[in-house]
């Protein structure tokens, strides 16, 4: 979903470049330098306004998190929320996360989160879905051998497509829920902004999968 341009966003981002990266290629193999401590790296692609990744960074101080978002106005809002109470283990990146293998090196990442990714419902747009095989190849390049993808959505069509796409790619499923909020895992679940908005209308689907080594 496209968001209206916010005039304050660009100067705000430029002012806070210690927390947001605008030239991700220059950190190839050096992402740990952006953090106070070297620790496992988890990346969210399509981080939106940052609710999930900001809470995750607070909940798991022994993990370094990176939130990637394509839209300047959206990531500026995430950055502004984060700066209300910043933690040393979260960085944002303004870029297209589909190209992760252009700015992360092989096996650099432990986990990739895809939360409420745009569904691109038309068949002719299937290649744009962040769970389509072209993107899975990029994720495989940068994930550790036993690294995981965690995917949540409220969109049944996208979930079914993603199950098929991961399965056809030869991935191994670690966890599948057709109603996350009614499962025992709900207790540990960190909600995204879309999840909070849409869960009253129906179930939240979740899967966790890894590439076979
Ligand atoms: N993850 C958030 C949540 O669950 O509330 C936001 C979900 S919103 C439907 C999808 C977000 O992904 C949008 O902010 C969009 O700009 C972003 N996005 C879509 N494709 C992307 C890509 N290739 N790289 C980075 N961000 C992307």
Q: Provide the CATH number for the domain around residue 66.
A: 3.40.50.150
Rg (CA), the chain: 16
Which residue's C-alpha comes closest to atom 20 of ligand 1?
A: 46
**Is pLDDT larger for residue 42 or for residue 3?**
42
**Distance (Å, whole) CA 203 – CA 138:** 29
* Domain contains 110: yes
Q: Give per-residue pLDDT as tens, 188-205.
A: 999 999 999 999 999 999
- Using the predicted structure, report yes or no on whether residue 4 has a pLDDT greater than 90: no
47 in a labelled binding site: no
Q: Give per-residue pLDDT as tens, 118-150.
A: 999 999 999 999 999 999 999 999 999 999 999
175 in a labelled binding site: no
- Using the predicted structure, report yes or no on whether residue 213 has a pLDDT greater than 80: no
- Using the predicted structure, report yes or no on whether residue 116 has a pLDDT greater than 80: yes
* Domain contains 2: no
* Domain contains 116: yes
* Domain contains 184: yes
**Distance (Å, whole) CA 39 – CA 41:** 6
* Domain contains 3: no
187 in a labelled binding site: no
Which helix (H) or strand (E) covers residue 135, if one does?
helix 133-142
- Using the predicted structure, report yes or no on whether residue 113 has a pLDDT greater than 90: yes
Give the pLDDT band of residue 1 (cuts 50, 70, 90).
Answer: low
- Using the predicted structure, report yes or no on whether residue 5 has a pLDDT greater than 90: no
Average of per-residue pLDDT values in the chain:
97
Q: Identify the domain containing residue 175 by its residue range.
A: 9-210
Catalytic residues: 118
- Using the predicted structure, report yes or no on whether residue 2 has a pLDDT greater than 90: no
Mean pLDDT of 83-109: 97
> What is the best residue among 1, 6, 46 to mutate for testing ligand 1's pocket, by most ligand atoms within 8 Å of CB?
46
* Domain contains 4: no
Cα 85 to ligand 1 centroid, rounded to whole Å: 23
* Domain contains 158: yes
Cα 42 to ligand 1 centroid, rounded to whole Å: 16
What DSSP string runs through 79-96? HHHHTTS--TTEEEEES-
ipTM of the modeled complex: 0.99
Total count of domains within the chain: 1
Q: Kindly list the protein residues whose Cβ atom lies closer than 6 A to any atom of ligand 1.
A: 1, 45-48, 68-71, 74, 96-98, 115-118, 192-195
* Domain contains 17: yes
Q: Where are the alpha helices (DSSP H) in 22-68?
A: 51-59
């Amino acid at each position: 979903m496209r968001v209206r341009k916010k005039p304050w966003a660009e100067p705000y981002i430029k002012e806070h470049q210690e927390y947001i990266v605008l030239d991700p290629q220059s950190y190839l193999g050096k992402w740990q330098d952006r953090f106070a401590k070297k620790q496992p790296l988890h990346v969210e692609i399509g981080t939106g306004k940052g609710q999930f990744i900001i809470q995750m960074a607070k909940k798991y101080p022994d993990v370094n998190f990176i939130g990637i978002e394509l839209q300047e106005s959206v990531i500026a809002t995430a950055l502004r929320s984060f700066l209300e109470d910043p933690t040393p283990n979260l960085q944002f990146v303004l870029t297209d996360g589909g190209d992760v293998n252009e700015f992360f090196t092989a096996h650099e990442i432990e986990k990739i989160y895809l939360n409420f990714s745009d569904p691109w419902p038309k068949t002719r747009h299937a290649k744009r879905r962040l769970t389509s095989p072209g993107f899975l190849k990029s994720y495989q390049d940068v994930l550790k051998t036993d690294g995981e993808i965690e995917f949540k959505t409220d969109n049944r069509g996208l979930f079914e497509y993603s199950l098929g796409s991961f399965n056809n790619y030869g991935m191994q499923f670690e966890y599948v829920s057709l109603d996350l909020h009614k499962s025992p895992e709900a207790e540990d679940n960190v909600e995204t902004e879309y999840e909070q908005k849409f869960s009253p209308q129906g179930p939240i689907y979740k899967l966790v999968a890894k590439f076979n080594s």
